[in-house]
Structure 1
Amino acid sequence: MSLYPIKIIISTVCALIAFAGNSVLCRIALGQNLIDAASFTNIRLLSGIVTLMLIVLVKKKHILTQSKGSWLASCMLFVYAIAFSYGYISLDTGVGALILFGSVQITLIFVNVTSGNKLHYSEWLGLSTAFVGFVYLIFPSLTSPTISGMAIMALSGVAWAFYTLLGRSSQNPLSDTAYNFLRTLPFILFMFLLSFKSTTISQEGIVLAVLSGALASGIGYVIWYIALNELSISQAGVVQLFVPVIAAIGGVLFAQEQITLRLFISSVLVLGGILIVILGKSYCMKQALNEK
């Protein structure tokens, strides 16, 4: 195996660990009331801005073409981040990650369908299975505050899906990610003005938010953009299915959470259904080529 595929594999694995790390860090901070959701998001994004811009300044002389992201990507980044934080107020790490990345994959599939690609019967089967898994997961919580957390986390997943789609055309992952983060400053200011009266901050909460922003988000998203250059939409979808598993394990190890039977069954249905969709599409494409 050449060094280039190894680079992509390492980049992808590191990105997935970073994604799961965000879930664990956010859940610890908010689940233990160490910081409020708005402050966690603001500090997380500010930490990402500082870290990424410093790296850009250091490497500026070595960058031949310096693209600067887009306002649309920045909006998607902020919506993802703020919804992510508020979602984790009431959700366990594994449940939140399952809803987040399940929503990501369903959104990617929906975009694919609306682009003119018809679904095969196996893909409909997979979507139906995933939907049943979501219903099974949320059904006991339909009359509790948790349902709002699930809805907010689903919104976060939709925003992250579009951020992922925008990232596939990135020619300079470091620069694009840095400027996407930088453009969130107006949103951060607005959120601060909106929520400063109800701010709750502790030293531990600040540390967790900084770790989430500087490492798991800032550097993690650069690595993800690097991997996206060589991953198809289907591949990007498949590999992200591992994040809820990693996050659930992290929740057990670092947040003293338990993996319930309901979460396990839901995970099998949701992730298995999405996998059926992706594998079914790949099979149909191969069959079509063979017929030609």
Structure 2
Amino acid sequence: MHSRAFILTGLAMVAFAGNSLLTRAALRETGIDAASFTSIRLASGALVLWGLVVLRGHGISGSGNWWSALALFGYGAAFSFAYIDLSTGMGALLLFGAVQATMIGYGLWQGERLEPLQWLGFLMAFGGLAGLLMPGLSAPPIASSALMIGAGVAWGIYSLRGRAAGDATRVSSGNFARAVAFALVLSLLMVDQASLDAAGTGYALASGAITSALGYAIWYTALPMIRAVTAATVQLTVPVIAALGGIVLLGEPLTLRLVLAGAAILGGIWLVVLEKQQTAKA
């Protein structure tokens, strides 16, 4: 990987982890409610992506679709509500595990076959997730955990739908714009619980405009420069970066449960991805 690809990839991973940090910080330390955070995040992301498309001289008519937008909204809303109670690292790990499980599960449903080492990795990841959710003093809240897993499934669906959707930035722009409509409906339904302040709004704007919109644009710029196996494995760093950010910036504790479960989940997924690439080369 040459230096430009390395820098872009690193920036994208930090941006993705930043979404967890910004959302957790907003919903723990400011007065903003989760529905308003979601609406502002999606709206600011849509605006920045639209600007990027216009700067590139491309029209946006016909880009994206409502089903993908619904999946994007489902991810964004569940992600926000989950981070009311989940720590940064815990949320990122649950999200990432659910995304990968969804995409691997879809491959199996489509007829893909796992090699023995991949099955070992899959079982490791599943065992790590089960261990993460087992009752105990450091167990995450079950409702918030379910929401984050749902967010991961929604993001996995969104990613699968976007594989052959065309220009990534243009399609993302259209999907974000459509997702805003769903988010506004949610905000209207929860208007009695609406709460805004300057700090929370700032976090939501940064999450949408910078770590979402610009993060995606940077990632899609880097993707053609790196190998598929590199693209898959480098994303394993996102929960780690998020967890470290939560510890350093938000003062969150590092629990033995998170370390052991994280090692099992990320190590298991790494085995699945690596063996898949080796099998494809054979």
For 1:199, the equivalent position in structure 2 comes to 194
When the two structures are superposed, what TM-score results if normalisation uses the length of structure 1? 0.88
- Asked whether the 8 Å contact 1:168–1:225 carries over to 2, the reply is no
Tell me the alpha carbon deviations over residues 127-172 of structure 1, each in whole angstroms, 9 at most, x when there is no partner.
Answer: 1111111111111259988111111101111111222223333542
Distance 1:139 1:189, change over 3 A: same
Q: For residue 35 of structure 1, report the CA deviation from its aligned partner.
A: 1.1
Q: Which segment is superposed worse, 178-187 or 262-271?
A: 178-187
For 2:38, the equivalent position in structure 1 comes to 41
For 1:25, the equivalent position in structure 2 comes to 22
- Asked whether the 8 Å contact 1:39–1:199 carries over to 2, the reply is yes
Name the Cα RMSD after superposition: 2.5
Distance 1:229 1:9, change over 3 A: same
For 2:13, the equivalent position in structure 1 comes to 16
Q: Which segment is superposed worse, 63-72 or 277-286?
A: 63-72
Q: Which secondary structure state, in structure 2, belongs to the residue aligned with residue 123 of structure 1?
A: helix
Cα distance in structure 2, aligned partners of 1:90 and 1:59? 40
Are positions 1:52 and 2:30 aligned together? no
Distance 1:11 1:71, change over 3 A: farther
Cα distance in structure 2, aligned partners of 1:255 and 1:65? 39
Q: Which secondary structure state, in structure 1, belongs to the residue aligned with residue 41 of structure 2?
A: helix
For 2:122, the equivalent position in structure 1 comes to 127
Q: For residue 258 of structure 1, report the CA deviation from its aligned partner.
A: 1.7
Report the AA paired with residue 79 of structure 2: F
Q: For residue 282 of structure 1, report the CA deviation from its aligned partner.
A: 3.0
Cα distance in structure 1, aligned partners of 2:118 and 2:67? 30
Are positions 1:187 and 2:186 aligned together? no
Tell me the alpha carbon deviations over residues 163-196 of structure 1, each in whole angstroms, 9 at most, x when there is no partner.
Answer: 2223333542322221111111320221121111
Cα distance in structure 2, aligned partners of 1:9 and 1:76? 30
Cα distance in structure 2, aligned partners of 1:280 and 1:173? 27
Are positions 1:89 and 2:84 aligned together? yes
Unaligned 5+ runs, structure 2: none
Q: For residue 64 of structure 1, report the CA deviation from its aligned partner.
A: 8.4
Are positions 1:175 and 2:170 aligned together? yes
Q: For residue 239 of structure 1, report the CA deviation from its aligned partner.
A: 2.0
- Asked whether the 8 Å contact 2:41–2:204 carries over to 1, the reply is yes
- Asked whether the 8 Å contact 1:97–1:243 carries over to 2, the reply is yes
Q: For residue 81 of structure 1, report the CA deviation from its aligned partner.
A: 0.4
Distance 1:45 1:65, change over 3 A: closer
Q: Which of 154, 160, 165 is equivalent to 2:160?
A: 165
Cα distance in structure 1, aligned partners of 2:160 and 2:7? 21
Aligned positions, number: 282
Q: Percent identity?
A: 42
- Asked whether the 8 Å contact 2:97–2:152 carries over to 1, the reply is yes
